[in-house]
Amino acid sequence: MYSSNQGYPRMGQDREWKRTLEQFWKKEMSEEEFSARMKKLKSIHVKKQADAGIHIVPAGDFTYYDQMLDTAFMFNLIPERHKSDHPLSLGSYFSMARGSDDAHACAMKKWFDTNYHYVVPEWEEDYEPRLNFNKPLEDYLEAKEAAECKPVIIGPYTFIILSKGCHSLKEAADKLLPLYIQCFRELKEHGAELVQVDEPAFVYEGLEEDLHVIFSIYEAFAEAVPDLKLLIQTYFEAPEAYEKLTALPVSGWGLDFTKGNTIELLKTHGFPKDKILAAGIVDGRNIWRTNGAAALDLLYFLIHEVQPADLHIQPSCSLIHVPETAEGEDGLPEGLLENLAFAQEKLEEVVTLVNAENADAREKILQWSTSSQPEAGPSSKSLRRAQSFSERTRLQQRVFRLPELPLTTIGSLPQTKEVRRNRKSFKDGTITKDQYERFIQEETKRWINIQEELGMDVLVHGEFERNDMVEYFGENLDGFAFTRKGWVQSYGSRGVKPPVIYDDVQWRGPITRDLTLYAQSLTEKPVKGMLTGPVTILNWSFAREDRFSESIAWSIAQALRKEVHALEEAGIRMIQIDEPAFREGLPLKASKQESYSRWAVNAFRASHYDVKAETQIHTHMCYSEFSEMLPVISEMDADVLSIEASKGGGELIRTFKDFQYDKSIGLGVYDIHSPRIPSVKEMEAVIRHCLEVLPAERFWINPDCGLKTRSEAEAVKSMENMAKAARIVRESLKQTV
């Protein structure tokens, strides 16, 4: 029995990885220095895992940006617009991730049901397959000097079906097979014995129709590299078609025992006695101690009843979804810290489980916190606003008198160094509360003026007082705790510090009212009140596991409803309740999705269902596959939906040809996650494309997400171009009437 790991957090406790990336992007270090620093961080990560006692350390999980991007780059899947005189340069690599002056970035989507975003590979018609370099081999050769390790690579099936522009699984597999085989052969030649092949897409329903291609892929691998052990790794759910899949000619399987019905599958169908079982017993996605008694029961079941050829104990998935270590987190509520396990603590749990035959280890395991069964969720009635959308929109237009194609932003405006410095000074006590609030008011006033000068029709106060859209509300509601260095990667260098929901969520008084009122006093144009929705707060927090998600979401919604009422009573008539993580909690199995959609919709509606008809409710969503969820999104009953539509190449826009969305909507007309500033002509084309499928009287114009991460110059110029494009289209619409 061995201890193993699937992947290690990249961000670092002090965000060393993030700082290195951003310094390179700002040209504050050379490419040589950047590569040297990244190589050092990679070696540190390997050493930390080996020092924790992990027998088999992953090599290949470390990346400069994203593993899917790495795989595409390695296999020469580089879109023509990102190629340069030196197509394998870091310039081309980061152009795919972030865009450039001449090329928009590749799409970015959520990695299954997590808050991690991957870069979507693009297949072009003239794609020339080639193994540009062997990244798993390079990482393996570096890592094996310090630890016994296994190369890690994204599997061909998962890579293909998560890509875009690929019209045939079989044709794509035929192109990639020689590249994977070359990669595997080189690994074997350099001493690799076991390779982890990540195939999380094997958990999706509907896999049966692809089984013939999957078998042809892995039979080809078995024939080409018969002496190399391939371990197929799945996670986030139980694999579909389990009994058939486990007949694949591979040496082992990695299974997630923390999600789905994996245990029942093994009890019903068994497990091949000649294969390795890498058992994900420790949950790699939460931050709570493992239930020791349950883990021991499972371990004994695997050893004595399943009896695989070899048993590897590991986290259920890569640990990139949790912070690096709980060490030093001494500012938490009493009794909470001992119940937490971040990445390093989870590796300690893995090692302790491997030594469970030892009496001391067994006693230690039994002392780990045990959680009771979740309590029943609320049996609440379905909530709806009293008036229909058509009734509400007529009343709202009388109040707001907005022009055709109203212009707005999503909410957050650039968080400059000065904003962050003042926030830190206030937290450190070096400036007073009055000084900090004066600064925030001055910044708000400055940006209200900027928005008016640019011609925005609906303004925002800018959210300069907020560190993070979820953390900010958690700090102002009861029931949340906060770590000091609990950083988790969201995308690229973007890190978040999820709150911990450890107690009942309660509203303790107005959170956003005063600053929103101040912003509204500066202009005659409407200013939106800005809240984060209950489902997003839940999905972007580490919530306690002895309560159903539905119950926690409901309690958050009740607290937010009081905040909505406080804004409405103060005279704010536009309130945006953001739900960018709404789809994130959607179960991977279609058979489980209806229940989630029902309670998630109801939680959102519970936050505002009893506002006046004249109060206009907005929501915002981004970076997930929303096409198949549009009927559910419509049920949320927001008056205005703003949704990302620019980064995915227009797929969502095309969806509206088939689905008649019956409320107001703003399809984001440019990608804010790229430093690239789109031209007026480019945004005009996007607007006209949107108007081919949506009526002008219900169409809003906005960026695809908040502008927090952009510089002031980038934000202002992009908004200026957006406003000019909107005015051009407005004039053309007038001429056609």
Annotated binding site for L-homocysteine: 410-412, 578
Which residues are annotated as part of the binding site for Zn(2+)? 620, 622, 644, 705
Give yes or no for a contact between 559 and 507, defined as CB atoms under 8 angstroms apart: yes
For 403, other C-beta atoms within 10 Å of its C-beta total: 11
For strand 2-3 and strand 310-315, is the pairing parallel, antiparallel, or unpaired?
A: parallel
Decide: 196 and 136 in contact? Cβ < 8 Å. Answer: no
Catalytic, 673? Answer yes
Strand arrangement of the beta sheet that strand 500-507 belongs to: 477-481, 500-507, 542-543
Q: Is residue 495 a contact partner of residue 489, using CB atoms and an 8 Å limit? A: yes
- Residues that constitute the known binding site for L-methionine: 410-412, 463, 578
Distance CA 532, CA 604 (A): 10
The answer for residues whose C-beta is within 8 angstroms of residue 404's C-beta and 6 or more apart is 696, 697, 730, 733
Cβ partners under 8 Å of residue 74, min gap 6? 131, 132, 133, 134, 135
Q: How does DSSP assign 567-619, residue by residue?
A: HHHTT--EEEEE-TTTGGGS-SSGGGHHHHHHHHHHHHHHTTTTS-TTSEEEE
| Binding site, annotated residues | 18, 115, 410-412, 463, 540, 578, 620, 622, 644, 705
For every residue of 506-564, DSSP letters joined together read: EE-S-SSHHHHHHHHHT-SS-B-EEEE-HHHHHHTSEE-SSB-HHHHHHHHHHHHHHHH
∠ CA 699-708-72, rounded to 5°: 85
Asked if 474 and 528 count as a contact pair (C-beta separation under 8 A), the reply is no
Give the chain's radius of gyration (CA, Å): 26
Annotated catalytic residue within 82, 304, 673, 689: 673
Q: 316 with 281: CB under 8 angstroms?
A: yes
Nearest-5° Cα angle at 93, 88 to 95: 125
In whole angstroms, give the CA distance from residue 277 to residue 246: 11
- Would you state the structure tokens that stand for residue 669, as one six-digit string? 């007309």
Any idea what the Cα angle at residue 115 is, between residues 112 and 117, rounded to 5°?
A: 70
**3-class secondary-structure state, position 674:** coil
- State how far the Cα of 696 lies from the Cα of 148, in Å rounded to an integer: 61
DSSP state of 71: H
Nearest residue to 346 via CA among 441, 258, 247: 258
Q: Which residues 6+ apart lie within 8 Å of 357 measured at CB?
A: none
Three-class SS state of 699: strand
Q: Residue 683 corresponds to which tokens in the numbers above?
A: 């945004």
Distance in angstroms (rounded) separating the CA atoms of residues 414 and 444: 11
Question: Could you list the active site residues?
Answer: 673
